[in-house]
Amino acid sequence: MKSCLLLSLLLLAACTQVPGGKGDFQAGDRAAIIDLQHRYVLAMDYFDADGYAAVFTPDGVLDWAGGEVKGRDAIRQFMASGTYDLRKLNFKPAQTPDGKEWPSTVRHLVTNQVIEIDGDHARAISYWMNYANNADRHKIEWLSFGSWDDELVKVGGKWLFKRHTIYNEGNAKRFTAGQSNPLER
């Protein structure tokens, strides 16, 4: 009995660093949040309105240069509407050598995540940039850059955006230049 109790206590010590807890730096939660951000981008870049809306909570808010879009349904409609289609910028049509249409591509990089997790709530600060080959399919043209300040919640074991705020250093109303470290704000 004593040895079993001792063994159990040793196990308890070994298990205090449970995954999702502080002991492993919440590695699973961090990976899930970053995966969510990347699914958001993939859906955006491939114009998948359902996939784009699916990363938000039902009452989630997209807060971007064009204003606030509130709720998953409105967010789906926003993406489906083509309002945010950067392929139009400086676009020139192109064909493959065998005469097929060659559409252009817009892509978003998301990097440099700093994530702070408190139970089922989290905040993530990230850098984003976007680029395209709209004018010349063989050339990369950089479009704009900024940061995200995301509020996330874990619902039923799954992380989702509650508020996705997009700052843009090339937009007079959305830049953060001159401000203090966002981790201090």
Site for its own copies in 21-60 (CB under 8 A): 21, 23-32, 35, 38-39, 41-43, 46, 48, 51
Is residue 103 close enough to count as binding its own copies by CB under 8 A?
A: yes
| CB neighbour class for 127 (10 Å; exposed up to 12, middle 13-18, buried from 19) | middle
Nearer to its own copies, 38 or 81 (CB): 38
Stretch that binds its own copies, among 60-68, 73-81, 171-179 (CB under 8 A): 171-179
What are the contacts of 64-68 at 24+ separation with CB within 8 A?
Answer: 64/165, 64/166, 64/174, 65/166, 65/168, 65/171, 65/173, 65/174
CA 174 to chain centre: 18
Contact with its own copies (CB under 8 A) among 67, 92, 93, 101: 101
Per-residue x/- mask for its own copies, residues 122 to 161, rule CB under 8 A?
Answer: ---x-x-x-x-x---xxxx-xxxx----------------
Q: By CB under 8 A, is residue 110 in contact with its own copies?
A: yes
